[in-house]
Structure 1
Amino acid sequence: MGQTSIATGIVSAYDPTFGFNGGPQIENRTIDEIYEAALAEGGIVTVWHGGDETNQQDGLKQAFEARFPNITLNITVDVSKYHDGNIDRQLATGGVYVDSVILQTLHDYPRWDEEGALLHYLPLNFYDLEPSFRDLRGAWYGVLVFGWSFIWNQDKVSEGPKEFDDFLKPEFKDKLVLTYPNDDDAVLYAFDLILQQYGYEWFEKLLEQNPRWVRGTGTPVTLISQSNSTSSVTFTAGVGLTAPEPLAISFPTQGQFVTWPQRAAILKDAPHPEGAKLLHNFLLSEEHQSSLGSWSVRKDIPAPAGYAELADIPSTNPDGFESFMADRARAERLRLFFEDKIGTAQGLSPLKDEL
């Protein structure tokens, strides 16, 4: 077989050099005008969204399609670390069929931008975003704030934890359910923050509590909520700032808890760019941001009642996760460190289990 035949495999359509190709597209239409353009384009938006339960974005689909009739939001939820490799495959083969990507793998976005794969687009309300949550040229920007809180079932636990040391109390033995830190980078980051502050001895004592290790950050909430489960407490999940009964939440004031802006980007070769623009403008709109029940990525939208602004909370740094994710060599060493202590992640993908 000659070299010509060999070379007809994967060929990237993207230029990994400097890419001096002009400024971003700046949105100056109303959202209703973007809606009309999306309808004319075909009325479809295809999104890949990070997550670990297939139904996690059903609310977004329902809200978006209700707001924009005759627009179909095809949204696929999967673990971000699996989505990104499949996006790379699309980019490498020139077969892009996804319009928008909203993932936890923050380090992928600068790389994709360097490869010329992302649309530089400044949606409406772009400058209302926290400056550190947005790329200067609109290659990516945060669309929602995620974070881990202390969560417990009030029907099973008389008093919930307030600081990380509380998880070592005798009353929580055999009641903790935690996501494998070696299976999820955001949980890995949480453990990194804890051990940097409390030392390795804290982790040894945590293991003596006999926690149940699970895959996915949605799984602990499911187990805690079940009346027939002994699992009662976790710190590797989030339910927003208003917990559904009988759950309760708190945030540490001495230890550091994890928050980050989940990033979104439109692929430059997206087959439905107008639909993707409509979705991103909706995600950053005041109506949507105010409905999330959490901190907003927009600096002009106040925190929910009873909570301080995210930037004013000393026990979290929403920009820290980006730096953690960017150092892939250290993250991999840390992942293997915890894998040695608790074993490889066991069980089906959280998208396929029955919990």
Structure 2
Amino acid sequence: MHAPCVAFLSLLAAIPALAYDTAFAFAANATIETRSIDEIYQAALAEGGLVTLWHGGDESNQQDSLKTAFEAKFPGMTLNVTVDLSKYHDQRIDEQLATNSLYVDSAILQTVHDYPRWKQEGALLNYQPAGFEQIHPAFKDIDAAYYGMFIIAWSNTWNTDKLNVSSISSYADFLRPEFKDKLVLTYPNDDDAVLFQFNTIMQTLGKGWFEALLQQNPRWVRGTGTPATLVGTANNSYVATFTSSIGLVPSLPMKIDHSTDAFFTSWPQTGAIFRDAPHPEGAKLLHNFLMSVEHQNATGTFSSRIDVASAGGYPGIFDMNNTNPTAFGEWMGDRAQVERFRFWIEDKIGSAQGLSPLIDDL
């Protein structure tokens, strides 16, 4: 039985996510991968050639490129990838674990606070893929139960066909008259990373900034992919967002900037293989592929590996100004704090409306 008692869960919930390794370090024996990628590939084929991945996101096709790249690299392998909001994936995984009916091999999710809990429940495989030593220490569990697969960072994003400016370098810029009725933003009360973004901005710019933003009449949507999709679509009036990530080298007419007047949100999107994964060799092949230098160079964003340069000539995430990639994980560990701010926001803008992922009028 993986689920711990309620009292123990309550204790864990009170401890910030990045403090788990100190508080509960087991020094578990992790399997260190010494095989070549081809040897893992052959083992995965012999196992059945299948791997099931649940990936956080909000548009069902967001990981189609990963499926295509993985299956092209490893003929005969099938990657079944399901994209949904991480907060829905995790509770479904909990149900599978509680009923001994696990059919997911690997999960890569935004809900970083889930991984220390799953580790303590004994649900995760202690496994070091090739290159594990190159993952930044702040992004990996000491027993290799979970680790950051890549970095997500919100950016100020706009469509130059709709708004001919060279830079949007502050959150205060979004209060300018030209953004009235033309911003599209993710409901903060529907996505913890966006909620953290608003919390961080208001700590610096104050609640007055938020009140002025509401006067801009932004369109609120579900999902963080949706704002960028709407901004990038020609047949609407939405020109900009700051609750999406489109990588560091977007294609024109899309352009990005990072704010200088308050911190922007960045974090390691974290992944793990489940101890009782039905296809452990397939999952190991997938994780070795995802953490390879080849794939990390192809992501178009910041890498969680210290030996892989960021895309577009950007510095490493720890060398970027106005962001702290470990702060989100620490904040997520204090669920009472998260929920208090969520309901403060919800009282101001209402509950999240619409389907998720949003599929109409994109």
TM range (shorter): over 0.9
Counterpart CA distance in 1 for 2:235 and 2:53 is 36
Could you tell me which runs of 5 or more consecutive residues in structure 2 were left unpaired when the two chains were aligned.
Answer: 9-23
Distance 1:295 1:42, change over 3 A: same
Indicate the larger mover: 157-166 or 28-37.
157-166
Task: Tell me what 1:170 maps to.
Answer: 177
Shift of 1:109: 0.2
Residue 45 of structure 2 corresponds to 39
| Correspondent of 2:57 among 37, 51, 61 | 51
What amino acid maps onto 2:276 in structure 1?
D
**Alignment check: 8 A CA contact 1:51 1:77 kept:** yes
Bigger Rg over Cα: 1
Matching of residue 325 in structure 1 with residue 332 in structure 2: yes
Partner of 1:3: none
Matching residue within 347, 351, 359 for 1:344: 351
- d(CA) in 2 for partners of 1:50, 1:213: 20
Q: Which position in structure 1 is the counterpart of 2:140? A: 134
> Counterparts of 1:269 and 1:326 in 2: how far apart (Å)?
25
Measure the CA separation in 2 of the matches of 1:296 and 1:94. 35
Query: Which residue identity lines up with residue 47 of structure 1 in the other structure?
Result: L
Q: Provide TM-score, normalisation by structure 2.
A: 0.92
Give the partner amino acid of 1:213. Answer: W
1:283-336: CA deviations, max 9, x gaps? 000110000111111000112243122111131111111011111111011110
SS of residue matched to 2:103: coil
Q: List alignment gaps of at least 5 residues for structure 1.
A: 1-11
Specify the code of the residue in structure 1 equivalent to 2:132. Answer: F
Q: CA-to-partner distance for each residue in 1:215-274, whole Å, 9 max, x for gaps?
A: 111111121112221111100001000112211111112321111110010000000000
* Matched residue, 1:191: 198
- SS of the residue corresponding to residue 275 of structure 1 reads helix
Task: Give TM-score, length-normalised by structure 1.
Answer: 0.94
Cα RMSD of the aligned pairs, angstroms, is 1.6
Alpha-carbon distance change, 101 to 337 in structure 1, aligned in 2, over 3 angstroms: same
Match of 1:6 in 2: none
State the AA in 2 paired with 1:272: H
1:95-124, Cα deviation, whole Å (9 max, x unpaired): 011000100000000000000000001111
Q: 1:77: which partner in 2?
A: 83
Residue 353 of structure 1 and its aligned partner are, at CA, apart by: 4.2
Please show how residues 1-355 of structure 1 align to structure 2 within 5 Å.
12-13=1-2, 22-159=28-165, 160-350=167-357, 352-353=359-360, 355=362
Indicate conservation of the 8 Å contact 1:117/1:269, yes or no.
yes
In the alignment, what sits opposite 2:12?
none
Contact 2:31 2:126 (C-alpha < 8 Å) held by counterparts: yes
> How many corresponding residue pairs?
344
Identity %: 58
Q: Which amino acid aligns with 1:277?
A: K
